[in-house]
Amino acid sequence: MVFLNHAQHRKEEFGKTYNAKIFKQAAERLEEICDVKITDENLKKAFEVYNENRALKREFVKLCGDYSQTIKASDRSHVLKASHHMLKDEHNKMLKELIEALKAMPKEECKGPRVVTSGVITDNPALLEVLDNFNVCVVADDVAAESRGFKVDVDTSIEDPYMALADQFARMDEDPILYDPDIWKRPKYVVDLAVDNDADGCLLFMMTFNDTEEMEYPSLKQATKKLVFH
């Protein structure tokens, strides 16, 4: 096991420097375990592939709202989850084909409520079956295992690949799992996500013993109560 004890203060220069050091130590440990050499050049090549994967997933997520009869909630979840279990270049190829096929189709009318989902994970098969049965269209998400994970790209202009990773981590905002002194920024982000995607409501999925999101729930509920869904 390779443990990453990252800095909570991600945005300050001292935090970036510390996290870059921690990421490099993790890479060195992986080199020992896997008997491979992790070069800066190969890391930068990987950044390009992963950035492309993030961009394609963001494009796919936007399309799901327009093709809810073809891409049900369970299909959406499976497509995004597959990226965790495949080589990214293979997933990129399949995503491109799927996006091209969807764009060639006429847009579809949503037969159920349009929602934004929020939480850590929403891939429970029974839950997805309920969403499918009621024609729930997930038009956007604030889910840790989904859009939060591919919202921010690596800045490939940064020479040091480990500092590039630290910089990416520093720019991951609107996430209750990560430290952010501006506690009111996130509720507004979720509300704006619903408004911008013409959602009928927000579905918040709370995991048991998830203290950070449980503590956030009152402010999130207060923010969404002020929003008039149509």
Asked if residue 199 has pLDDT above 70, the reply is yes
pLDDT digits (tens, 9 = 90+) for 130-146: 999 999 999 999 999 99
For residue 87, pLDDT over 80 is answered with yes
Task: Name the fold adopted by 40-225.
Answer: Rossmann fold (3.40.50)
Residue-averaged pLDDT of the chain:
93
The per-residue DSSP string of 50-81 comes to HHHHHHHHHHHHHHHTT-TTTS-HHHHHHHHH
d(CA 13, CA 46): 24
pLDDT at 229 over 70: no
Rama region for 209: left / alpha / beta (φ>0; ψ in -120 to 50; rest): left
> pLDDT at position 224, please?
82
The pLDDT assigned to 153 comes to: 98
pLDDT value at position 230?
47
Residue 80 has pLDDT above 60, yes or no: yes
> How many other CB atoms sit within 10 Å of the CB of residue 93?
13
- Stretch 164-177: mean pLDDT: 95
Do 147 and 59 contact (CB within 8 A), yes or no?
Answer: no
Please give the residue that has the higher pLDDT: either 10 or 182: 10
Give pLDDT, residue 136.
96
pTM across the whole model: 0.93
pLDDT tens-digit series, residues 114-130: 999 999 999 999 999 99
> What residue segments make up the domains of the chain, in order of their start?
40-225
